[in-house]
Structure 1
Amino acid sequence: MDPKIELLAPGGDVDAIKAAIIAGADAVYCGLDTFNARNRAANISFEELVGIIRLAHQYQCQIFLTLNIVILENEFKSLAKLLSKLVNTTLDGVIVQDIGMFHLLTKHFPTLDIHASTQLTTHNIGQIPFLKKLGASRVNLSRELNLREIAALTETGRENDITTEVFVHGSLCIAFSGLCYSTSASVGNSGNRGRCSQACREEYETTESGHNFPLNIKDNSAFFDLPALIEAGVHSFKVEGRIKGASYVHTVIDSFRKQIDGFLATGELLEDGERLYKVFNRDLTNSFLKGDLNQSMFIDNPRDNSKNHLKDKLTHNGLKSISVVQIHDAEQELQTEKSQIQASVNDKIKHLSIEKLPLTLSFSGQLGQPLTITVSTQDFIIGQTQLEDKTFTVQSPSLLTLSDDASIDASSIEKRFKSLNNAEFDLLQLVTDDLAPGLSIPFKELTGLKKQVLLLLNHETPVLPAVELPKLARYPKPETHRPKLSILICDEADIALADVTDADIYFKLPDAYKRGCTKYVEFFKQNPRLIPWFSSVLIGKDFDAALNILEQVRPKLIVTNNTGIANRAYELGIKWIAGPFLNTTNSYALLAMQEQFDCHGAFISNEINQNQIKHIARPANFKMLYSIYHPILLMASRQCFFQQSVGCEKPRIDNGCMLSCDKSTSITNLKGDEFAIDKQKAGYPSIYNQDQFLNTEIIEDLAHLFDGFMIDLTNIGAGDKPSPDKELLIQQFELLLSGQSNLATSLGNIVPKSTVLQYHNGL
Structure 2
Amino acid sequence: MNKKIELLAPGGDLDSIKAAIAAGADAVYCGLDSFNARKRAVNLSFDDFNRVIKLAHQHNCEIFLTLNIIILENEIKPLLTLLNKLVNTAVDGVIVQDLGLFYLLSEYFPSLDIHASTQVTTHNRGQIEFLNKLGASRVNLSRELNIKEIKSLTQFGLERNVLSEVFVHGSYCIGFSGLCYISSAHGGNSGNRGRCSQPCRDKYLPTDAGKEYPLNLKDNSAFFDLEELIDAGVYSLKIEGRIKGPSYVHTVVSSWKKQLLSYSSQGKLLSDNSALYKVFNRDFSNSYLKGTINKLMFIDNPRDNTLKHVEQSNAGLSHLQIEQAKQDLYDQKTAMAAEVAEKIKHLNTDKIPLTITLSGQSGQPLCVSVSTPECVFMVRSQSKLIHTENASLNRSAIDKRWKGLNNALTCIESICMRCLDADLFIPFKELTVIKNSILYQLNGAKEAVSPVELPVLNYAPPQTAKAKLSVLISSKQDLPLCSVDGVDVYYKLPDSFRKGCAEYVDLFADNKGLIPWFPSVLIGADYEAAAQLLKQLSPKKIVTNNTGIAYLAYQLGIDWTAGPYLNITNSFSLACLKEKFNCSGAFISNEINKKQIKAVRSPENVQLYYSIYHPLLLLSSRQCLFHQTVGCKKAAMDAKCLDKCEKSASIINLKGTSFAINKQKGDYVNMYSNEHFLNTDIVSDAPEQFSAFFIDLTDIGITEAREKDKTSIIRGFRELIEGQVDAAERLHNMLGQTTNSQYQKGL
TM-score range, shorter chain: over 0.9
Distance 2:707 2:362 in 1: 92
Corresponding residue for 1:461? 446
- Cα separation, 1, equivalents of 2:633 and 2:271: 37
Deviation per residue, 1:311-343 (Å, 9 max, x gap): 11112xxx2xx4321221111011111111111
TM-score of the two chains, using structure 1 as the length reference: 0.96
Question: For the Cα contact (< 8 Å) 1:149–1:540, is it kept in 2?
Answer: yes
- SS of structure 2 residue aligned to 1:518: helix
Q: Do the aligned residues in 2 keep the contact of 1:634 with 1:687 (CA within 8 Å)?
A: yes
Structure 1 segment 100-499 matched on structure 2, within 5 A: 100-315=100-315, 319=316, 322-379=317-374, 390-403=375-388, 407-479=392-464, 481-499=465-483
Listed one character per residue, the Cα deviations across residues 335-378 of structure 1 (whole Å, up to 9, x for unaligned) are 11111111111111111111111113333332222222221222
Letter in 1 for 2:360: G
Three-state SS of the structure 2 residue aligned to 1:231 is helix
C-alpha distance in 1 between matches for 2:705 and 2:77: 46
Is 1:694 equivalent to 2:678 in the alignment? yes
> Partner amino acid for 1:324?
H
Per the alignment, residue 744 of structure 2 pairs with 760
- 1:618 is aligned with what amino acid? S
- Which stretch of the first structure deviates more once superposed, 717-726 or 255-264? 717-726
Match for 1:496: what amino acid?
P
Q: CA deviation at 1:177?
A: 0.3
1:385 paired residue number: none
Q: Within 2, Cα distance between the matches of 1:193 and 1:306?
A: 31
Cα deviation, residue 397, structure 1: 1.6
Paired residues of 2:463 and 2:689 also in contact (CA < 8 A): no
- The letter for the 1-side match of 2:513 is R
Q: Is the 8 A contact 1:664 1:720 kept in 2?
A: no
1:670 aligns with 2:617: no
Letter in 2 for 1:333: D
Closer, same or farther: CA 195–723 of 1 in aligned 2, 3 Å: farther
CA contact (8 A) 1:627 1:711 kept: yes
- Partners of 1:511 and 1:535 within 8 A in 2: yes
AA at the equivalent of 2:30: C
8 Å CA contact retained: 1:262, 1:270: yes
In 1, Cα distance between the equivalents of 2:526 and 2:55? Answer: 46
For residues 246 and 54 of structure 2, the distance between their equivalents in structure 1, rounded to whole angstroms, comes to 19
> Quick check: 93-102 or 451-460, which moved more?
451-460
The one-letter code matched in structure 1 to 2:215 is L
| 2:3 match | 3
Structure 1 residues 124-148: Cα deviation after superposition (integer angstroms, max 9, x where no partner)? 1111011000010000000000011
State whether residues 662 and 681 of structure 1, in contact with CA within 8 Å, keep that contact through their aligned partners in structure 2.
Answer: yes
* 1:294–1:653 Cα contact (<8 Å) kept: yes
Partners of 2:705 and 2:735 within 8 A in 1: no
Letter in 2 for 1:41: A
| Secondary structure of 1:183 counterpart | helix
Any idea what SS the aligned residue of 2:624 has?
A: coil
Gaps of 5+ in 2: none
Distance in 1 (CA, whole Å) between partners of 2:544 and 2:276 is 41
- CA contact 1:157–1:164 (8 Å) conserved in 2: yes
Contact 1:407 1:437 in 2 (8 A): no
* Post-superposition offset of 1:431: 3.5
Out of 466-475 and 110-119, give the one that drifted further: 466-475
- CA distance in structure 2 between the aligned counterparts of 1:130 and 1:473, rounded to whole angstroms: 23
How far apart, in 2, do the equivalents of 1:250 and 1:128 lie?
32
Query: Shift of residue 191 of structure 1?
Result: 0.5
Structure 1 residue 437, shift from structure 2 partner: 4.0
Per-residue deviation at 1:403?
Answer: 4.3
Residues 165 and 235 in structure 1, CA contact (< 8 A), matched pair in contact too: yes
Kindly indicate whether the alpha-carbon contact (under 8 Å) linking 1:489 and 1:506 is maintained by their aligned counterparts in 2. Answer: yes
1:299–1:333: structure 2 CA closer, same or farther, 3 Å change rule? same
Equivalent in the alignment of 1:383:
none
> Does the C-alpha gap of structure 1 residues 720 and 710 become closer, same or farther in structure 2, counting only changes over 3 Å?
closer
Contact 2:676–2:703 (CA<8 Å) still a contact in 1? no
Q: Contact conserved, 2:457 with 2:575, CA < 8 A, in 1? A: no
CA distance in 2, matches of 1:286, 1:470: 45
- Counterpart Cα distance in 1 of 2:733 and 2:2: 62
Aligned-pair distance for 1:725?
A: 2.2
CA pair 371-631 structure 1, distance change in 2 beyond 3 A: same
Q: TM-score scaled by structure 2? A: 0.98
Amino acid at match of 1:358: P
**How far apart are the structure 2 equivalents of 1:516 and 1:270?**
46
2:621 to 630, 637, 660: 637
User: 1:211-260 CA distances to partner (integer Å, 9 max, x unpaired)?
Assistant: 10000000000001110111111111111111111111111111111111
Secondary structure of the residue aligned to 1:740 is coil
Find runs of 4+ consecutive structure 1 residues off by over 6 angstroms: none
721 and 339 in structure 1: CA distance in 2 versus 1, 3 angstrom threshold: farther
Post-superposition offset of 1:264: 1.9
Taking a change above 3 Å as real, the CA distance of residues 648 and 619 of structure 1, as seen in their structure-2 partners, is same
User: Given that residues 29 and 63 in structure 1 are in contact (C-alpha distance below 8 angstroms), is that contact kept between their aligned partners in structure 2?
Assistant: yes
Q: Do 2:489 and 2:513's aligned partners in 1 also have CA atoms closer than 8 Å?
A: yes
The residue that corresponds to 1:31 in the other structure is: 31
Q: 1:719: Cα distance to partner?
A: 7.1
The code of the aligned residue for 1:533 comes to: W
Change in 2 beyond 3 A, CA 1:266/1:721? farther
Q: Write the letter of the residue equivalent to 1:699.
A: V
- 1:521 offset after TM fit, Å? 1.0
1:273-328 alpha-carbon deviations (Å, 9 max, x no partner): 1111111100000000111111111001101101111111112xxx2xx4321221
Given that 1:487 and 1:503 are in contact with CA atoms closer than 8 Å, whether structure 2 keeps it comes out as: yes
Structure 1: runs of 5 or more not aligned: 380-389
Other structure's SS at 1:705 match: coil
Cα contact 1:516–1:545 (8 A) shared by 2: no
SS of the aligned residue for 2:208 comes to coil
Q: Is the deviation greater in 569-578 or in 651-660?
A: 651-660
Q: 548, 561, 582: which is aligned to 2:545? A: 561
In 2, the alpha carbon distance for the partners of 1:509 and 1:405 equals 82
- Residues 575 and 392 (structure 1), Cα distance of their counterparts in 2 relative to 1, 3 Å cut: same
The equivalent of 1:387 in structure 2 is none
Tell me, in whole angstroms, the C-alpha distance in 2 between the residues paired with 1:649 and 1:60: 52
1:600-615 to structure 2, matched below 5 A, reads 600-615=584-599
SS of alignment partner, residue 441 of structure 2: helix
Deviation of 1:105 (Å):
0.5
Kindly provide the amino acid, as one letter, of the partner of residue 354 in structure 2: L
Task: Specify the alignment match of 1:386 in structure 2.
Answer: none
Q: Distance in 1 between matches of 2:499 and 2:232?
A: 24
What is the distance in 2 between the residues matched to 1:467 and 1:10? 30
RMSD value, Cα: 1.4
Matched residue type, 1:455: Y
Report deviation, 1:404. 5.1
Asked if 1:716 corresponds to 2:700, the answer is yes
Stretch moving more, 495-504 or 32-41: 495-504
Is the CA contact (8 Å cut-off) linking 1:363 and 1:430 kept in structure 2?
yes
The match for 1:384 is: none
